[in-house]
Structure 1
Amino acid sequence: MTQSNFLLPNEWASKIRRLSLNTATKIRGHHKGSHRSQRFGASLDFSDFREYHPGDDVRQLDWNVFARTEKYFIKRFLDEQEMRVHILLDTTKSMGDEAKWLFARQLATALGLTVLNRDDRLSFSYVSNKPTPPFRRKGSTYQKAYEKTIADLREPTSSESFAENAIRTLPKDMTILLIISDALEPLEEWSAFLSKVPRFAGDVRLIQVQSLDEKLPTYSGDVRLIDVETSASVNVSMSQNVLRSYEEKQQEHQLQLEALCRKYGVQHIIVQVADGIQHALFNQFIKAKWLQ
């Protein structure tokens, strides 16, 4: 079994091919694609008629209408444009739990394959300690190359702040921006980041990956907790009061993050690692109308 197959089983290929990203925002691509644009162009989908004006393409004149009205009208057709989708993956150390990291990469792989399969333009990036060229491709012929790009990512070791540095990895003029992160960094950093992303994409979505231990720790007794990103440590006696205090702060963080998403027009979904990738793709995303 290859590493890419380990991320996403081969039998999922046919299921993913039936999915496509759904968006109500304006298609921003400048090249031909499979999505209906609000602009008029030269597809086979008829839109309406418009009176002829000097300079219009005479090949679009409708002579049947002229025969009935003795007026010149041209036929207008809906243009079909590509979507530009960018997937941004959090590779900071807090994503390093084995199950969480596999889950996040499976999400990135599956979503990217739905984009490429629809002949849309996909780009992918992550925050790294050293400059890394982004993946930018269009079309189903690059599905294997994209799978390998994600599968080749080692365990997350970035010591940089994701929310503070992610903006510099983004391309401009995207249709959809998909952010995959645990969103555990300070809310001030997330506020600054989310306030800027709408200028890059008309449709921004935050997929928050959450493990059971993050939601409700199962530790007991006297433990030493070490922050995997800052290496700061603290000795804690895991009493009911401590667990209750943690749960309250975790809920407060969550509520404020959701408020920030609403403020800046960012769609937000929490996906639980324990629920599995299939539940996220074929239940949560379809129910939220992110996929169809």
Structure 2
Amino acid sequence: MTQKLLLPEDWLAKISRFQVATASKLRGQHKGSHRSQRFGASLDFSDFREYHLGDDVRQVDWNVFARTDKYFIKRFLDEQEMRVHILLDTTKSMGDQAKWTFARQIVTSLGLMVLGRDDRLSFSFLQDEVKPPFRRKGAMYRRAFLQVVTEIEQATYTNSFAQGAFKALPKDSTVLFIVTDGLEPIEEWEQLLKRLPRFAGDVRILQIVTQEEIAPEYTGDVRLLDRETGRDVNVTMSSKVLDTYMARRVLHEEEFEAICRRFGVRQLQLKVEDGLQHAIFQQLLKAHWIR
């Protein structure tokens, strides 16, 4: 059974000491392991304030009263859960085998980090029939989550990514991860990104790319197939054709990065050929997306 799953057998032990990092205000209403900006009943002392009618007298600090002859209560930092949602792009451009496997490995790694802490994970992917997302909390659900992602065998979604994303997102997340190749038209990304703050205070895009997409090395006469539409075209791969492709790709990347900055969305590009360990322990860690 282990061989059918996405991750190496020892991977859980490697990532178990990491967790998702965020400075966004926590939205969870349930107790967790993160310090919120609210005051509550944890053991971490915050400060004193004067006693007001209706306050819990058990919180009065009698030592302070003995010194000042005034009533003060202790305030403690509240502990709240983080709510992390992961959205996986399953449009057909993600269907390259190496890219698809790598994207699901990234999704699974992030989800296992969340479940390993006292945080709540939700996960969804684009599908023609809208279904409730995976929603769980606690380490006991790590195996179930791994199995859910493993069983998404192909990227087959044929509709607009932006429109599909709205249907698949909850509105109560602390952190939202979108795992995608970012190849949709910039106009569609704009429509999506400008509305994402209503879904989460901390939005992050993990853009999955391959070396073949960045710098194709085709030569001669080739037949190219569009994964999204199924249409094919015969092309002579001259230097002019390659230069035109590279220029369009660079422009798309620049516009994509610019629109992410415009709407306060953090974006990180991960290359499949660099491997999973490099993505997690180098890029995500150095970007302070995990700690």
1:3–1:151 Cα contact (<8 Å) kept: no
Q: What secondary structure sits across from 2:12 in the alignment? A: helix
Distance in 2, Cα, partners of 1:159 & 1:44: 51
1:106-149 residue CA offsets vs partner (Å, 9 max, x unmatched): 00000000001112000000111222221000111111110000
Task: Return the TM-score normalized by structure 2.
Answer: 0.98
| Amino acid aligned to 2:235 | V
1:30 aligns with 2:29: yes
Structure 2 partner of 1:96: 95
Distance in 2, Cα, partners of 1:69 & 1:240: 83
| Amino acid aligned to 1:2 | T
Distance in 2, Cα, partners of 1:101 & 1:211: 11
The more displaced of 24-33 and 216-225 is 216-225
Q: What secondary structure sits across from 2:234 in the alignment? A: strand
Q: Where do 4+ consecutive residues of structure 1 move more than 4 Å?
A: none
1:127–1:160 Cα contact (<8 Å) kept: no
2:60–2:74 Cα contact (<8 Å) kept: yes
Structure 2 counterparts to residues 117-128 of structure 1, below 5 A: 117-128=116-127
Q: What secondary structure sits across from 2:131 in the alignment? A: coil
Shift of 1:3: 4.9
Shift of 1:100: 0.6
Structure 2 partner of 1:226: 225
Distance in 2, Cα, partners of 1:198 & 1:232: 36
**Structure 2, unaligned stretches of length 5 or more?**
none
Distance in 2, Cα, partners of 1:163 & 1:246: 24
1:44 aligns with 2:35: no
1:215-238 residue CA offsets vs partner (Å, 9 max, x unmatched): 111221112222111123322110
Distance in 2, Cα, partners of 1:183 & 1:258: 10
1:21–1:114 Cα contact (<8 Å) kept: yes
Equivalences, count: 291
1:20–1:114 Cα contact (<8 Å) kept: yes
Shift of 1:30: 0.6
1:103–1:277 Cα contact (<8 Å) kept: yes
Distance in 1, Cα, partners of 2:203 & 2:106: 16
Structure 2 counterparts to residues 203-242 of structure 1, below 5 A: 203-242=202-241
Shift of 1:185: 1.0
2:130–2:168 Cα contact (<8 Å) kept: no
Structure 1 partner of 2:157: 158
Distance in 1, Cα, partners of 2:38 & 2:169: 26
Distance in 1, Cα, partners of 2:185 & 2:281: 31
The more displaced of 187-196 and 225-234 is 225-234
Structure 2 partner of 1:180: 179
2:130–2:167 Cα contact (<8 Å) kept: no
Distance in 2, Cα, partners of 1:53 & 1:132: 49
Structure 2 partner of 1:76: 75
1:47-77 residue CA offsets vs partner (Å, 9 max, x unmatched): 0000000000000000000000000000000
| Amino acid aligned to 1:145 | A
Structure 1 partner of 2:256: 257
Structure 2 partner of 1:2: 2
Structure 2 partner of 1:86: 85
RMSD: 1.0
Q: Percent identity?
A: 60
Distance in 1, Cα, partners of 2:232 & 2:8: 39
Distance in 2, Cα, partners of 1:39 & 1:151: 38
Q: What secondary structure sits across from 1:10 in the alignment? A: coil
